[in-house]
Structure 1
Amino acid sequence: MLERSATKRGTRITFVLPADERPVSVVGDFNDWTPGAHPLAPRKDGSLAVSADLSKGQVTAFRYLADGGLWFDDPTADHHDGANGYIHT
């Protein structure tokens, strides 16, 4: 699930997943597709989340990467192209 909030320069996107025992990070063109740059951390409700501030008027590609090299998509992305999910800010 994606949570959005406005910032002065764009949009803060919070990437949220249900609790999982594996480490998961979100990777995308906003962090040069660097695994581990944005690891999801536990929240009080048990879900996992991490936030990133994205510039206004951008289209950002992203995917999740779980421990063990498992890539997966967020079904709530604005659109998918068969390889990545995308967020429009």
Structure 2
Amino acid sequence: MAIKKQFLKSKPVCKVTFTVEAKDADKVFVSGDFNDWSQTKHELKKLKNGNFKGTVDLEKDNTYEFKYLVDGNWQNEEQADSYKWNDLGSENSVLEV
């Protein structure tokens, strides 16, 4: 798994590219407080090498909590900036942009 941040000079936006290694998965979504934890909004595209990849524009100078939904199972990002406990008794990945 990986996160790439690209800050735009012309806008207060950061293009965040999420990459998930899930060769046996059918569907992967990135879900977080930036999309009201939608389980259908930000679907990552499956690449020929089996990875899933997608880009989300996020407002700069903010912190976001998120997780991946891989075939219905929640997973954290190994390279997250940090982790934060949620109300469900597990941790969310934290992204600082």
Matched residues, percent identical?
32
- Superposed, 1:64-75 pairs within 5 Å as 64-67=68-71, 69-75=72-78
Aligned to 1:38, which of 42, 65, 83?
42
Q: Distance in 1 between matches of 2:65 and 2:54?
A: 16
Q: Radius of gyration: which is bigger?
A: 2
Question: Which whole-Å deviations, capped at 9, do the CAs of 1:23-50 have from their partners, x for residues lacking one?
Answer: 1100001111000211110235542101
Identify the residue that residue 84 of structure 1 maps to in structure 2: 92
Unaligned runs of 5+ in 1: none
Q: Give unpaired runs (5+ residues) of structure 2.
A: 86-90
Please give the TM-score of this superposition, normalised by the length of structure 1: 0.88
- Residue by residue, what CA displacement relative to the aligned partner does 1:4-60 show, whole Å, maximum 9, x if unpaired? 111222211111012423211000011110002111102355421011011011000
TM-score, normalised via structure 2 length: 0.81
Distance across 1 between alignment mates of 2:59 and 2:79: 19
CA positional deviation for 1:71: 0.6
Partner of 1:57: 61
| Aligned-partner Cα distance in 2 for 1:35–1:75 | 20
Deviates more, 1:44-53 or 1:29-38: 44-53
The total of aligned residue pairs comes to 88
Q: Name the one with the larger strand percent.
A: 2
